[in-house]
Structure 1
Amino acid sequence: MHTFLIILQLIIGIMLVTVVLMQPGRTNGLSGFISGGAAESFYSRNKSRTSEAMLSQLTVILAVAFAAVCIVQNLIK
């Protein structure tokens, strides 16, 4: 059981690092400050359906799974 949890934690950790590295940067720099960054566009209205939103949700799910496996591993020891 302990070996299975270690392997599961390794797989989840690699997936978590990969998903985090796939996400784009969030900085707008001065262009967002000057223009206000509040322009209404098709992209901003449908942001929940984009691949960026999917990667963000997948990051949260993998982080929670990683933490849960860590806790279970410590309880088993």
Structure 2
Amino acid sequence: MRVLRTVLLVVFVLVSLGLIALVLLQSGKSAGLSGSIAGGAETFFGKKKGINEKLESWTKYIAFAFMVLALLLTIL
């Protein structure tokens, strides 16, 4: 039981650091006036997929893992 808690704690710390890194790597949604113009252009011409979309999806997965691990550690 103690070993399981230690392993979960180590994984929790790694997931926490990964979540922090993913959030910091993402760019802002709008960067002033140019961001609003680009947002309008994306509405008409479609959105190109790039690294930001991949970072967003990975952030969702890592955040889910963070929440599950936090609940497991609370229960233990």
What is the identity, as a one-letter code, of the residue corresponding to 1:51?
A: I
2:33 pairs with one of 30, 35, 50: 30
Give 5+ residue unaligned stretches, structure 1.
none
Q: Map 1:26-65 to 2 at 5 A.
A: 26-31=29-34, 32=36, 35=37, 37-39=39-41, 40-41=44-45, 44-47=46-49, 50-65=50-65
Q: CA RMSD in A?
A: 1.8
Asked whether 1:3 is paired with 2:12, we answer no
Tell me the CA shift for residue 37 of structure 1. 3.7
* CA distance 1:57–1:36, change in 2 (3 Å): closer
What secondary structure does 2:14 align onto?
A: helix
Alignment length (residue pairs): 70
Give 5+ residue unaligned stretches, structure 2.
none
Could you state the TM-score of these two structures normalised by the residue count of structure 1? 0.77
What secondary structure does 2:40 align onto?
A: coil
What is the identity, as a one-letter code, of the residue corresponding to 1:6?
A: L
- The CA distance in 1 between the partners of 2:51 and 2:33, in whole Å, is 25
* CA distance 1:26–1:11, change in 2 (3 Å): same
